[in-house]
Every structure is written in C-alpha cells, then in structure tokens.
Amino acid sequence: MRFTTFLLALQGVAFAYSSQALEPKALSRASGTFTNPVLYEDFADNDVFLGPDNKFYFSASNMHYSPGAPILRSSDLVNWEFVGHSVPSLSWSTKYNMTGGETAYRAGTWASTMRYRKSNGLWYWIGCIDFWNSYVYTAPDAAGPWTQRASLNGNCYYDCGLHIDDDDTMYVVHGNTQISMSQLAPDGFSEVKSQQIFVTPPGVSGLEGNRLYKRNGTYYVLDDAPSDGATYIWKASSPWGPWTSKLLQKGVTSPVPGGGVPDQGSLIQTPTGDWYFMSFTWAYPSGRMPILAPITWGSNDFPILSSINGTWGTTYPSPLPIISTPSWTGTENFHGFSLSPQWEWNHNPDTTKFALGNNSLVLSTATITSDLYKARNTLTHRIHGPLPVGTIALDYTSMLDGDRAGLAAFRDHSSYIGIHFLNNTYILSFVNGMAQNSSDWSTLSTGTTLATVDVSDKRKLWLRVSLDARASGSKEAKYFWSADGVGFKQLGGAATLNTDWQYFMGYRFGIFNFATKGLGGQCEGY
C-alpha cells in the first residue's frame, strides 16, 4: 500500500531566534562569566557528571518523546551540545507506539541517571518506567549505540542516582519520602541488596530527586523537598549509613524572572577540583532549565551554595575556559538521511511514514483522527531562548482530502497554523484551544478554527510561530504565513501558552501531518 505524502521544508526548516541580544552564551563568551540559565531550553531532571574525556555529560528526561533520555556534552559546564539519547525507542509497551487509541503522555523517561564505568568502558543509563520497573541501558560511547540490557525485576528506582564506587561497586539511591540504597550485581544488571537508608525528617514535606556522590571518602546523598522549595544534603561514611543531613538551600530565588525555586539537580566536581551545583528552575512555558552555581565546602564537610543574598546568581565567574559549541538556533536543511538529536517525535514514530533526503523531510499521514494528540509522527523540537521563533517551509501539493498539516506550539494546551485540505480547497487555518486533561491525558478539546485564508492558488507556504516563552512574559504564541519566505502576515490573534506543571515538559515546535478521512488512496510523491 502506498500513502500520500507532502514535502516539508523544500528549502529547509528554519529555526531562528528573534532576539540575539538576550542570548546567554554571547555574554559568557565575552566576559569570562556565565549567565543563568546556562541553557535556555527544557532539559529536565539533569544528572551531570565528568566523563572519562574530562568533558561533562548531562542526562535529562523527556517523558513521552522519542528517542528518550537526551544526552548533552560540555567542556566548560556552560556551553553544551546535543550528542544523543540513552533510550533509542520507547519499547516498554504498545501505548508508546500510540496505536489503537492508546497514548503515553507524561510516561516514558523521568528522573533517571547516567554514569561512565571505567572498568568495562561502558556508559550506563538507569530509569524507572511507568512506576513499575527499572531498566538498564548501556553503550560503548555516550553518543551510542545504546541498548537495553536488563530490567530490574519489578523494582522501580524512583528518582534514581547511580554512583560507581572506587572499588567498582554500583550503588543506586532512590525513593520518594522513604529513601533506599540498592547495590547492583557486578555487571549492573540486577540487584543484590537493598535497604531503606533514611526517611523524610519531621517538618519536611517529602524527599525525592536523589543523587549519590563520594568526596574524599565520604558519601553524599543530594535530594530535595519540592513542596518546601528546599534541597538537603546527607553524608555518611558508608552507603548504608548512618546518614546525617543539612539544608543546602531553601527558598532561594530563581535567576530566571518568574522562575521557580531551584529543584533537584547534580553536584559536579571539575577537573580543577572545584565543585558546582547544576539545579533546574521551573519556568513554563519554556520548561525546566538548568542553572549553575559554585559550591564551597564548610569545615563540617557539608557543601555551601554560593547564593547571593538569597538569590541564585544570574552570573558567576566561568568555571573553566570557555569552549564554544554549535549554536542552538539556525536552519535545519534535512540533508542527511537521519534526524539530528535535536529532533524528537511525539511518542515512537511509524518509521515507514517519513523519509529524509534531498534536503527535505517527507511526512506521510500516519493516523486517521481529528485529534492532534492522537496523531502519530508529530516531529518536535524544543523551543530555545525567551522569545523563540520557528519557521517551516511547507509544500502541500500531495495532501489528500481531509488531511491537516502544519506547525504547532505543542504542549497539553496547543495551537497551530496549518493547511486543512477539504473538498479540493486548501484552507490555511489558525486553530486554538486544543487541550488535554492533566490527570488522565484524555483530550478535552480538539480545538477551534479561529481564522482562515483560502490558499488553493498556491502549493507552498512558509509558516511561522513566534512565542513569548518567558515565565514573566506575555506567554503568547502568534502565527504568521508567507508566500515568498520574506514578507510574513499574521493569521488570527494570539494563543495563550499555559504554565501548568503536570505535563512536565515545556512547549515545543510540533510539525504534524495527519488524516481525518483516509490514509490509503492514490500514491503521490516518493
């Protein structure tokens, strides 16, 4: 069976960042200081550590997006590049394939951990999936290929932190409120011992976000009490305790205007012996963005956060000489035959329904639905910076009756600009009000068409969405279109971006093509 296709981005998909003056990296390179957030992008639940090549590796979670568990790399803790994913496909159950009406919104990868193991040269990633089982993935290189090696017999390592000790023993700290230590078998693929090591102290609202470190023979567990806006640090001379704790921070103000109190994160030692805390601040619509501050050690061997009068600094001296990384914005020409790691699908894609090459991406319709949240093969890209702008060039020559294709500001409350092809008429439409129930992720609304233009006299358009993604900003998305890629006209009014936390991911650009009538029919294109 052949399916209709349309060409996306004949001239490439351009992601331009509209306000270069607000680019944090420009400041850090120029002045020897860095600016928080170190990356104005949604990389949640960071687990940052020093790799064997004296570079830092940053593992994050991305819930229902595929591939899962993104990996970043940096030489200076400030300038980061995207190197890959630890979870090549969300293979744990059929809902991740979004078939049969099932979806896996807000499931997938969350609060996981990654480390390099010297003794066998393998990189390990461990995460609990669906609150019922933890999986171990390994790779010979951080960039992959990653493979699933083990499932840990029903143990959910909630908010887990892996530490590989000096004697090569692998320990995982995990738990919510009741914190446990598990020792893994020599290969890291099963558990040999586990016990509770401490519980939430009286007067604290519940602990999670666990990480395990060792410094100068002493073990440390970092965790936080999110409802209190507090981070605690525990120390012990053995992984099994006894543990004593100290407050690391409480209610420190975010360096991002409108952002939340620093939550979870990583303690990191640099090759020069200095220590840093990479936490994250909740700042929707953008997401959970990494923020960095120096740590010093007190005479009691507990760490002290270098906050400035109760505020996480917006700038600090750079930890290390700046080594620049590729720009996070620019134009994607799709000239390879695989997608760069910046691109993640909403759930696992149907790989038979897209093609790359010839400087274009061809998306074929993969689902018959009128619901964007149920349509497979929506290709997403994180927004970058406070005022992100995404533009695509779209050739809609080969759409079939009932098809809808375009560019969304994608989250649990979404809006889009796109072509609705119906009855031989191509209608450019601004659709707003798509919404999901933030409890069971069912669709509450498939949206309302609020503005239209008949574009049947054309077959190619440029579509653009421009967002104010600042937590302190207007939180609006505006949509534009162009027949020549130069002059853009707005379509409809502004859509409001939501800032609820339950979805756990920030807004993304979403490029979609779905059918409302039928997938089959005449073959067009490829």
Ligand X SMILES: *[C@@H]1O[C@H](CO)[C@@H](O)[C@H](O)[C@H]1NC(C)=O
List strands edge to edge, sheet with 425-436.
65-66, 343-346, 379-382, 508-514, 404-410, 413-422, 425-436, 443-454
- Residue 94 CB, nearest approach to ligand X (Å): 4
Closer residue to ligand X (CB): 67 or 287:
67
User: Which H or E run contains 27?
Assistant: helix 24-31
Closest distance to ligand X from the beta carbon of 253 (Å): 12
Q: Which is nearer to ligand X, 82 or 441 (CB)?
A: 441
Evaluated on CA atoms 222, 227, 228, 229, the torsion sign reads positive
Report the nearest approach of ligand X to the CB of residue 55 (Å).
23
Minimal CB distance residue for ligand X:
357
In terms of CB distance, is 119 or 272 closer to ligand X? 272
Contacts with ligand X, residue ranges (CB under 6 A):
91, 93-94, 97, 216, 308-309, 348, 355, 357-358, 423, 437, 439-440, 444, 526
Q: Which contacts qualify for 475-481: CB closer than 8 Å, 24 or more apart?
A: 475/285, 475/499, 477/409, 477/415, 477/507, 479/407, 479/415, 479/416, 479/417, 479/430, 480/417, 481/417, 481/428, 481/453
- The first and second tokens of residue 69, run together, are 């568990």
Least distance (Å) between residue 3 CB and ligand X: 14
| Residue 310 CB, nearest approach to ligand X (Å) | 9
372 half-sphere exposure, CB direction, 13 A CA radius: 34
Write the DSSP symbol of residue 383: -
The contacts found for 480-488 with CB under 8 angstroms, 24 or more apart, are 480/417, 481/417, 481/428, 481/453, 483/458, 485/11, 485/393, 488/462, 488/464
Q: How far apart are CB 399 and ligand X at their closest, in Å?
A: 16
Task: Kindly tell me which of 91 and 496 has the beta carbon lying closer to ligand X.
Answer: 91
Q: How far is the CB of 346 from ligand X (least distance, A)?
A: 14
Which CB sits closer to ligand X, 272 or 309? 309
| Contact assessment for residue 330 and residue 357, using Cβ atoms and an 8 Å cutoff | no
Residues in the chain, overall count = 526
129 or 207: whose CB is closer to ligand X? Answer: 129
Least Cα distance to 48 among 86, 24, 74, 79 occurs for 74
Cβ closer to ligand X: 216 or 227? 216
